[in-house]
């Protein structure tokens, strides 16, 4: 289901995608077969030590798939979701400039202190103004994740209204480069 949603969102944005064989964290297990993430505390906590080889695997995959001169955009890890942490840690091992985005919907309730705690020390803010067409593409891509939509919004219209208000309050989309 999520892979189909990824494909639909990427198609709407005109970008290519690459899926790995790594399941979402709630399905991953350690060598003895025990689930690694069994509660909100673990789901939004640190990466399990048993997943260090997975971090290394993802780093190698990124190194092989993403050209060295490409702009790589990774989550800030607001909210602390372990899958977001995994991607960020793997990307940071590449030792190249990265762009960071505020993980939505976690960003909508994050405090300034939480944001600062997630930013790399060398991060520089870049603001990208968004046209109505940009906002429509962004919210349509978000709505492509139908399996998650009702977890956070009552409807696609509610998602669109919230994202338009959020982007307006920020003056566009924000990315941090480090």
Q: What is the pLDDT of residues 89-123, one digit of tens each?
A: 999 999 899 999 999 889 999 999 999 999 999 99
pLDDT score at 174: 96
Q: Are the C-beta atoms of 58 and 69 separated by less than 8 Å?
A: no
- Would you tell me how many other CB atoms lie within 10 Å of the CB of residue 175? 19
Low-confidence ranges of the chain (pLDDT < 70): none
Helix, strand, coil tally for the chain in percent (to 5) = 50, 10, 40
Phi/psi-derived region of residue 11, left when phi > 0, alpha when psi is between -120 and 50, beta in every other case: alpha
> What's residue 1's pLDDT?
85
**Counting beta carbons within 10 angstroms of the beta carbon of residue 85, is it exposed (0 to 12), middle (13 to 18) or buried (19 or more)?**
buried
pLDDT at 95 (0 to 100): 87
Is 151:107 a contact under the CB 8 Å cutoff? no
Please state which CATH number belongs to domain 2-129+172-177: 3.40.50.10320
The residue ranges of every structural domain in the chain are: 2-129+172-177
Question: Residue 2's pLDDT is what?
Answer: 87
Q: Is the pTM of this model over 0.85?
A: yes
Q: Where are the alpha helices (DSSP H) in 1-152?
A: 2-13, 40-43, 52-65, 82-92, 112-118, 132-143, 146-152
Q: Give pLDDT, residue 5.
A: 96
């Amino acid at each position: 289901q999520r892979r189909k949603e990824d494909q639909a969102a990427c198609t709407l944005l005109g970008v290519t995608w690459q899926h790995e064989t790594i399941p979402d964290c709630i399905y991953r297990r350690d060598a003895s077969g025990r689930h690694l993430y069994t509660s909100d505390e673990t789901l939004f906590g640190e990466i399990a030590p048993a997943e260090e080889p997975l971090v290394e695997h993802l780093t190698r995959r990124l190194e092989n798939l993403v050209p060295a001169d490409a702009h790589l955009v990774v989550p800030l890890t607001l909210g602390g979701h372990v899958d977001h942490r995994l991607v960020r840690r793997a990307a940071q091992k590449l030792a190249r400039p990265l762009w960071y985005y505020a993980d939505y919907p976690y960003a909508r309730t994050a405090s300034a202190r939480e944001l600062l705690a997630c930013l790399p020390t060398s991060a520089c803010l870049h603001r990208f103004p968004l046209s109505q067409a940009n906002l429509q593409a962004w919210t349509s891509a978000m709505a492509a994740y139908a399996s998650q939509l009702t977890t956070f919004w009552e409807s696609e219209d509610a998602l669109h209204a919230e994202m338009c208000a959020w982007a307006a309050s920020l003056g566009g989309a924000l990315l941090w480069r480090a």
